[in-house]
């Protein structure tokens, strides 16, 4: 039986991957894909109008992959962060509950403080330290209390089509190789997490929905890395083995939002249900070989 999907945030890294993977799956149909340019998810009337327009072919599942994810901007623009990360999920949850549509909401490792020496499980006490983390946690709470049968998927260190850490590091590497920049790249080596490829996460979300998962699940690629290790792996895989990367501490950075130092997610709950995520190093290789990363000369094509 074909399941019908609505994807909010379709131009983001995960949203793009969701539309691509769902469209390619024989048992899935994307009946609507919207982004913030077309729809203000925090506007109840706008969301109601969208759902009314889908009445003849309503979605079975709505995925909220939209968020205000620029963590430092969130510190400067807390009202915008609240609107995008807390109010919008509530509005979408209310509309889904009214129409009998199952809601999947994507959240983040930033809901945790990052102080734990062991990986965070779904039932562990949140302790966000940034505006971004606090507003994302508020969004989770709104969804869980408003939409029955909802699914919260927390993930971490996402990379895919568009702006992301790997693309930024490799852009800096190109500048160095072209002689437009000098000195070593500098990357923090005291923050730990689980890098996650958007396409792998998209497939895991489809699988969890198919299995009827409800509540909170942690989903990320297998293995733990620091940002330095992720940078080094990406550079080596893209042919920049000769470029050095200086290891620095978080306290050497000038940033507005506190970063969790160890926000590793325990994904055993999803794994017990059958979710299989490859190692993050393999995922980096897949990303660099895909159309999500369009720099042809770094893929051995140009």
My answer on whether 274 and 237 are in the same domain is: no
My answer on whether 172 and 248 are in the same domain is: yes
Q: Which residues of the chain have pLDDT under 70?
A: 295-302
284 in a structural domain: no
Please state, rounded to an integer, the average pLDDT across all residues of the chain.
95
91 in a structural domain: yes
My answer on whether 245 and 207 are in the same domain is: no
My answer on whether 136 and 218 are in the same domain is: yes
My answer on whether 270 and 173 are in the same domain is: no
Tokens of 209: 């929905």
Please answer whether residues 26 and 205 qualify as being in contact, where contact means their C-beta atoms are separated by less than 8 angstroms: no
**pLDDT in the model for residue 295:** 63
My answer on whether 116 and 23 are in the same domain is: yes
My answer on whether 148 and 234 are in the same domain is: no
141 in a structural domain: yes
**pLDDT in the model for residue 38:** 87
Q: What pLDDT, in 10s, does the model give residues 105-156? A: 999 999 999 999 999 999 999 999 999 999 999 999 999 999 999 999 999 9
Q: The CATH number of the domain where 17 resides is what?
A: 3.40.50.720
Q: Which structural domain range is residue 235 located in?
A: 165-190+226-258+290-299
Please indicate whether residue 132 is annotated as part of the active site. Answer: yes
51 in a structural domain: yes
Taking Cα atoms as reference points, which of 67, 8, 293, 20 lies closest to residue 160? 293
Rounded distance between C-alpha atoms, residue 32 and residue 161, angstroms: 20
**pLDDT in the model for residue 90:** 98
203 in a structural domain: yes
My answer on whether 70 and 200 are in the same domain is: yes
15 in a structural domain: yes
Rounded distance between C-alpha atoms, residue 174 and residue 271, angstroms: 38
Q: The CATH number of the domain where 252 resides is what?
A: 3.90.25.10
**25-28 contacts at long range (C-beta below 8 A, 24 or more positions apart):** 25/206, 27/1, 27/2, 27/3, 28/2, 28/3, 28/4, 28/206
Q: Looking at 110, 120, 132, 293, which residue is catalytic?
A: 132
**pLDDT in the model for residue 45:** 97
My answer on whether 90 and 173 are in the same domain is: no
My answer on whether 185 and 199 are in the same domain is: no
64 in a structural domain: yes
Q: What is the pTM assigned to this prediction?
A: 0.95
My answer on whether 143 and 249 are in the same domain is: no
Sign of the CA dihedral running 103, 29, 107, 212:
positive
123 in a structural domain: yes
**pLDDT in the model for residue 296:** 46
| Strand-strand pairing, 245-248 and 185-188 | parallel
DSSP category for residue 215:
E
My answer on whether 103 and 244 are in the same domain is: no
Q: How many domains does the chain have?
A: 2
């Amino acid at each position: 039986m074909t399941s019908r999907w609505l994807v909010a945030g379709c131009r983001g890294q995960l949203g793009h991957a969701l539309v691509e993977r769902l469209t390619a799956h024989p048992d899935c149909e994307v009946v609507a894909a919207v982004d913030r340019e077309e729809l203000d998810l925090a506007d109840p009337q706008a969301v109601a109008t969208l759902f009314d327009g889908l009445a003849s072919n309503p979605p079975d599942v709505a995925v909220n992959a939209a968020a205000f994810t620029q963590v430092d901007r969130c510190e400067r623009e807390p009202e915008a962060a609240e609107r995008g990360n807390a109010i919008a999920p509530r509005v979408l949850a209310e509309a889904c509950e009214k129409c009998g549509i199952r809601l999947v909401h994507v959240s983040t490792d930033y809901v945790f403080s990052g102080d734990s020496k062991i990986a965070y499980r779904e039932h562990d006490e949140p302790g966000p330290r940034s505006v971004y983390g606090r507003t994302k946690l508020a969004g989770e709470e709104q969804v869980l209390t408003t939409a029955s049968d909802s699914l919260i998927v927390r993930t971490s260190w996402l990379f895919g089509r568009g702006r992301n850490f790997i693309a930024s590091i490799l852009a800096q590497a190109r500048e160095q190789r072209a002689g437009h920049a000098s000195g070593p790249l500098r990357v923090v080596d005291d923050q730990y997490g689980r890098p996650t490829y958007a396409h792998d996460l998209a497939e895991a979300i489809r699988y969890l929905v198919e299995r009827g998962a409800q509540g909170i699940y942690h989903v990320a690629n297998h293995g733990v890395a620091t940002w330095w290790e992720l940078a080094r792996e990406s550079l080596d895989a893209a042919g920049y083995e000769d470029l050095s990367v200086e290891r620095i501490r978080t306290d050497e950075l000038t940033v507005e939002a506190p970063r969790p130092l160890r926000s590793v997610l325990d994904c055993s709950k999803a794994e017990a249900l059958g979710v299989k995520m490859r190692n993050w190093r393999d995922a980096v290789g897949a990303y660099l070989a895909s159309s999500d990363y369009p720099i042809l000369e770094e893929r051995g094509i140009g």
